[in-house]
Structure 1
Amino acid sequence: MSVVGERVKNARKRAGMTQRDLARAAGVSLSQLRKIEQGGYEPRLETLRSFAVAMNLRTSALQTTPDYEIPDSDTESQWHPVLHALHGNMTDPDEPATPDGVQAMLDTVQAMIAEDRYREVTALLPNLIRDVEALDDARALKFKTLNMVASLLAQTRQFEAADMVLDRALEASETAVEAATAIDTHLWALLRQGRLDDARTMAVQWADDIEPRFSRATLQSVGMWGRLWLKIANAAVRDNQPHEVEDALALARAAAARIGRDVYVERLLGRTFGPLEVSYIAAESFVIAHEPEKTLAIAAKVPAPSIEPAGASRMRHKLDVANAHTQMGRYSEALEEFRGVQRTAPEWLVQQRYARDILGQIVGRRRTLTPEMRELANAIKLDY
């Protein structure tokens, strides 16, 4: 029996439930539960959350290992030159690096990220890393570069490399708020791995450390503090802690109300904070809690974004809407949301395990697939 299987079995017995009771309450098949308890396979985080809800436990009480995908061979090949550059294996430049030249390249990268041109960004990174490392007394540029690289590594599921780069970014940071933007990257990586306790503990610590005085604080400090509370809400809903979700969202809303509009917290990566970002996370929390009607009610009221209309937060929200439609059996509406994201951000979409999970549910309920569905499944590398 695996450790997680034994935890599920022991928790079920303490709850006074039979296997049939737990399977029914969690919405899984009896055979699936039996395989899990016998160590037949490691369940996904979403399945463990369903068990936790049925037994009124934290999801993390059942967890034993992280839950994430490894990068595919195409991604590894694409990033190989970048990893070489990060380890100092670089050719000499044709001419000396300058702060103005590095800033110009960062401006170019920012525009590419906003336009979903991630493959082109990756091709620029080796020279950018080489140039910024060659500069003396350019900590701000070094921090921005390393934080951006770490974020892209986390997006492409290269978590160990992301951790290494984030450590270097934190060394280059000059203020607590600036360091918190790197912690924001780290928290996102932890959540992508299903490391709920680690994410929550770190987010709470940093929210306490940088808590702003609203009467004097800068917009960036208030926004960064608000983003940390959104990460706490992210971790709490996955860990089956609904009251903690409500408290975290309330504090994030207070920060958003203080700012009054959506603003950039980290412009290079397109990270924003404000009322719209809070609405996105509230909608996400409801769909994770399997309350899709509430997700769709929020989605119907959110305005078009004034900044980053094709940013990752907006695209993630569209996937949450697709998931809500899927939970309600409205597959045509879900596919329409998918098509919109695929048209807008295909390079971002292919890195999202969440997209494969949602489309996998739709495909699993179909006896045959339309050509359009097969095309979409192939585009996001869904194994079906």
Structure 2
Amino acid sequence: MSVGIGERLRDVRKRRGMTQRELSSQSGVSLSLIRKLEQGERDDTRLETARRLASALRVPTTSLMTDSPEESASQVSLDRWEPVRRALIAPLAAGNDLEGPTLQGVRAALWDATPLFSGDRFAELGAVLPSLLRDAEELAQADPAGRAVRARLMLLTGWLLTQTRQFDAAEMALERALDGATDRLQGASAVSTQCWLLLRRGRLADARALATRWADDAEPRISKATPAELSAWGWLLLRLSAASVRDNRPGESEDALRLAHSAAVAMGREYDPPENFLSSFGPITVALKRVENAAIVNRPDRVLQLAAHIPVDKLKPTSNNRNRHLLDVADAYARTRRFAEAIDVLQKVRAGSPEWLPNQRYARDIMGRLVVGRRTLTPEMRTLSDAVGLPL
């Protein structure tokens, strides 16, 4: 017996592009029973019937019966990053006959790997990051100058693992990044990413407190501040705004966003240092976060109104800020039943960041809304559903 099979049956059938009548013909299950299941008139069926339906739909029988459809996708992500987690926690290997890493060599390797982080090239990072982490750790133990390199690598690794929902490992890496920070700006960058991690874990009060404390300490004299100082302060304010709006503190959120806007105005343009893509900041970045706040409070009309004035095409296709914004826009289109526009936006994200998109639960939520909202799915919608990892 399978409770709630009807909703899963309908979603999978639509994903396969089959009508109820076609499913009946291919499975041998009566059309009337399929209709009753999908309409909720029947909420159970025999296991053998479920197996016949699953066979016709080319999915495991349990996929019509499971209450945890994200389990298999989560396991894939865990398996991919297991070597990285081991490299973070494993002690250094015992001495061997190989020559140890050099400061110049690890710096060069980190520089070469930085485009992999900024470009969301997860498969390549999964291959090179474990050895780079171990080399950086060995170097830091042998050469004090190597500690700054290790801190920078830990920051990028913490950011990556937060992005891919490996939260415990991300916390470990970011704590090491902050401990090894060589100056106030590097520390602020680590804290900004820690705030993002706290937000993703739902620890809103902790994120607000941390962002507030560091933003107060990092506030520069705007007339004399460098772009790096404005960026560090601005990002802490954006994290504070994000935590506050999620914690139903709209006044605090707007105050923080206003101050971030003042930093962006002083910047005068988008600051995008090639050596530190996490510090990208400016008027467009702040505008994107204003849209995000509107999405959080469920104002799809406001999202689309604000987004119409943001030149997102000036940002790199691999920019996570750009792509997160585009998901907000796609979600707003989906909520207002402008399904074709939502699909177009998701296709745009997929074209620019094909490895980033499947890691976004938000994208799966949007596609789930689109699947439910349409009587039938186009081939394009089915392809996108597969691309974002929407479970069958």
Superposition TM-score tier, normalisation by shorter sequence: 0.7 to 0.9
Distance in structure 2 (CA, Å) of the matches to 1:215 and 1:71: 49
Partner of 1:126: 130
3-state secondary structure, aligned to 2:323: helix
Q: Is the 8 A contact 2:84 2:126 kept in 1?
A: yes
Distance in structure 2 (CA, Å) of the matches to 1:381 and 1:70: 10
Deviation of 1:254 after TM superposition, in Å, equals: 0.4
Q: Is the 8 A contact 1:86 1:129 kept in 2?
A: yes
- The residue identity in structure 2 corresponding to 1:129 is L
Q: Is the 8 A contact 2:117 2:160 kept in 1?
A: no
Q: Is the 8 A contact 2:333 2:342 kept in 1?
A: yes
Q: Which moved more, 1:74-83 or 1:288-297?
A: 288-297
Residues 278-293 of structure 1 mapped to structure 2, 5 A cutoff: 278-293=286-301
Deviation of 1:352 after TM superposition, in Å, equals: 0.8
- The residue identity in structure 2 corresponding to 1:73 is Q
Q: Is the 8 A contact 1:270 1:308 kept in 2?
A: no
Distance in structure 1 (CA, Å) of the matches to 2:77 and 2:92: 20
Partner of 1:113: 117
Q: CA RMSD, aligned part only?
A: 2.2
3-state secondary structure, aligned to 1:233: helix
Partner of 1:100: 104
TM-score by length of 1: 0.77
The number of equivalent residue pairs is 317
Q: Is the 8 A contact 2:284 2:310 kept in 1?
A: yes
Deviation of 1:371 after TM superposition, in Å, equals: 2.2
Q: Which moved more, 1:227-236 or 1:267-276?
A: 267-276
- Determine whether 1:361 maps to 2:340: no
Q: Is the 8 A contact 1:90 1:126 kept in 2?
A: no
Partner of 2:341: 333
3-state secondary structure, aligned to 2:223: coil
Distance in structure 1 (CA, Å) of the matches to 2:310 and 2:243: 23
Distance in structure 2 (CA, Å) of the matches to 1:133 and 1:286: 42
- The residue identity in structure 2 corresponding to 1:88 is A
Partner of 1:72: 74
- The structure 1 residue matched to 2:308, chosen from 294, 300, 319, is 300
* Cα deviation digits, residues 295-333 of structure 1 (max 9, x gap): 222222112465544210111111111011112111110
- The residue identity in structure 1 corresponding to 2:250 is P
- The structure 2 residue matched to 1:186, chosen from 190, 194, 204, is 194
Partner of 2:243: 235
Deviation of 1:69 after TM superposition, in Å, equals: 9.2
Distance in structure 2 (CA, Å) of the matches to 1:303 and 1:351: 25
Q: Structure 1, unaligned stretches of length 5 or more?
A: 1-67
Residues 155-234 of structure 1 mapped to structure 2, 5 A cutoff: 155-234=163-242
Choose between structure 1 and 2 for higher RCO, CA contacts under 8 A separated by at least 6 residues: 2
Distance in structure 2 (CA, Å) of the matches to 1:242 and 1:363: 32
Deviation of 1:216 after TM superposition, in Å, equals: 2.6
- Determine whether 1:88 maps to 2:90: yes
- The residue identity in structure 1 corresponding to 2:165 is R
Partner of 1:62: none
Deviation of 1:90 after TM superposition, in Å, equals: 5.8
Residues 334-353 of structure 1 mapped to structure 2, 5 A cutoff: 334-353=342-361
Deviation of 1:70 after TM superposition, in Å, equals: 10
Q: Which moved more, 1:145-154 or 1:292-301?
A: 292-301
TM-score by length of 2: 0.76
Distance in structure 1 (CA, Å) of the matches to 2:193 and 2:113: 17
Q: Provide the identity percentage.
A: 42
Deviation of 1:363 after TM superposition, in Å, equals: 1.1
- The residue identity in structure 2 corresponding to 1:134 is E
Deviation of 1:232 after TM superposition, in Å, equals: 1.3
* Cα deviation digits, residues 88-125 of structure 1 (max 9, x gap): 35666843212221122222222223333111012111
Q: Which moved more, 1:103-112 or 1:141-150?
A: 103-112
- The structure 2 residue matched to 1:248, chosen from 251, 256, 259, is 256
Change (3 A) 1:70 1:223: farther
Distance in structure 2 (CA, Å) of the matches to 1:249 and 1:70: 38
Structure ID, larger Rg: 2
Partner of 1:5: none
3-state secondary structure, aligned to 2:182: coil
